[in-house]
Copies of this chain bind each other. A is one copy, B any other.
Amino acid sequence: MNRYAEILNHEISIYLQSLPDDGIYLPFKYILNLGGKRFRPSLVLLSTELFGGDIQEAIRPALGIEVFHNFTLVHDDIMDSAPLRRGKKSVHTKWNLNMGILSGDVMFAQANELISSCYPHHLKEIISLFNKTAIEICEGQDLDMQFENRDIVELEEYIDMIRLKTAVLVGCALKMGAIIGNSNAKDANLMYDFGVNLGTAFQIDDDILDLYGNELAVGKQSGGDIIEGKHSALMILSKKIANPSQLEQLNLFLSYNDAQKKVKDVKALFNSMNVKDAASELKKQYYSKAVKSIELLSIQDAQKKLLLDFAENLMNRKF
């Protein structure tokens, strides 16, 4: 994956140089230059190579996926009133609301342009896949915002939300690479399922790490989700597991104004209820589904091993 990230960083820098140097293109370049692991576009390249495709065809669509992802970050940061992104000022904080909205819009438009620069015989399929994904991601963000105003969110609703908001883009990136690699339709769909389930497991892991991750490595305070009162995987599971007295305790702790005490007491209660184990179990369910898709692929075992190692690596991160 590091090799892909290197290739992509090089291509991103050439691409950004081709854009104007003023107005809405300043935040565009700023957010793309904040770094990140280039996870999603790397998946496009990985999948293309896995099926023996031409990596040169994959690069601009992969950039499109990255630009689109960054567009969602810019608009999400406005909607979440997030002052920071990757430790630096978010776009609407560094500039203003209007620049946040409009630079996001032009990033979406440029992402469309990049993605449609695949070879013409793949265009219809790639465009359909991407448009469906973009629509679902908006719908996922919509659900996420709706949940903020709800007292109760069911586990199935939560899973549906993270699938739409996060996981489908992972599936889209992998399927896009498969299409560019001229895979058969069955394999392309298996790559999609692999990605969606892996992305779901990854997001559940994210919720676990928010409370149980290495604070220094994660780069933010532990328990942010608890402080914000988010319906995270941990919180939803805890409410499912809790007996009436534990539920009463939980609600009491959540009403604390002192953020540190709130996190400490909620975490202790979670520990007594084995909430972390329940979340890990849930994560494993989706990880297993992802692995099953790999097994069904009609590619060499050595290549399946490659995918498996990648998935396993992703699941074993400590931050």
Chain A interface residues toward B at CB < 8 A: 20, 23-24, 75, 78-79, 97-98, 101-102, 104-106, 108-110, 112-113, 116, 120, 123-124, 127-128, 131-132, 134-135, 138-139, 141-143, 145-146
- Considering only CB atoms, which chain B residue lies closest to A114 in the complex? B131
CB distance from A235 to the nearest CB of B (A): 22
A124 touches B113 (CB 8 A): no
Across-interface contacts of A79 in B (CB, < 8 A): 97-98, 101-102
- Considering only CB atoms, which chain B residue lies closest to A135 in the complex? B109
Between A112, A141, A145, A146, the greatest number of chain B beta carbons within 10 A of the residue's beta carbon is seen for: A112
Q: A24-B139, A116-B128, A123-B124 are in contact. List 20 more A-B contacts (CB 8 A).
A: A23-B139, A23-B143, A24-B138, A75-B101, A78-B101, A98-B145, A102-B138, A102-B142, A104-B105, A105-B108, A106-B135, A106-B138, A106-B139, A108-B108, A109-B135, A109-B138, A112-B131, A113-B132, A120-B124, A123-B127
A116 touches B127 (CB 8 A): yes
Across-interface contacts of A109 in B (CB, < 8 A): 108, 131, 134-135, 138
Q: A23-B143, A143-B23, A145-B98 are in contact. Are A131 and B105 (CB under 8 A)?
A: no
Select A102's contact among B75, B108, B132, beta carbons within 8 Å: B75
- A-B contacts, 12 of them at CB < 8 A, read A23-B139, A23-B142, A78-B97, A79-B97, A98-B145, A106-B139, A109-B131, A112-B134, A113-B131, A116-B124, A123-B124, A123-B127
A135 touches B123 (CB 8 A): no
Across-interface contacts of A128 in B (CB, < 8 A): 113, 116
8 A-B pairs with the lowest CB-CB distances in the bound complex, closest first: A106-B138, A109-B134, A113-B131, A23-B142, A79-B98, A109-B135, A24-B142, A116-B127
B139 touches A110 (CB 8 A): no
Q: A75-B101, A98-B79 are in contact. Are A116 and B142 (CB under 8 A)?
A: no
A112 touches B112 (CB 8 A): yes
**Complex formed: what's the CA distance from A105 to B98 in Å?**
14
Q: A112-B131, A113-B135 are in contact. Are A75 and B143 (CB under 8 A)?
A: no
Across-interface contacts of A131 in B (CB, < 8 A): 109, 112-113, 116
Across-interface contacts of A134 in B (CB, < 8 A): 109, 112
Across-interface contacts of A112 in B (CB, < 8 A): 112, 127, 131, 134
Select A123's contact among B97, B113, B123, B132, beta carbons within 8 Å: B123
Across-interface contacts of A108 in B (CB, < 8 A): 105, 108-109
**Complex formed: what's the CA distance from A134 to B108 in Å?**
9
**Complex formed: what's the CA distance from A142 to B108 in Å?**
15
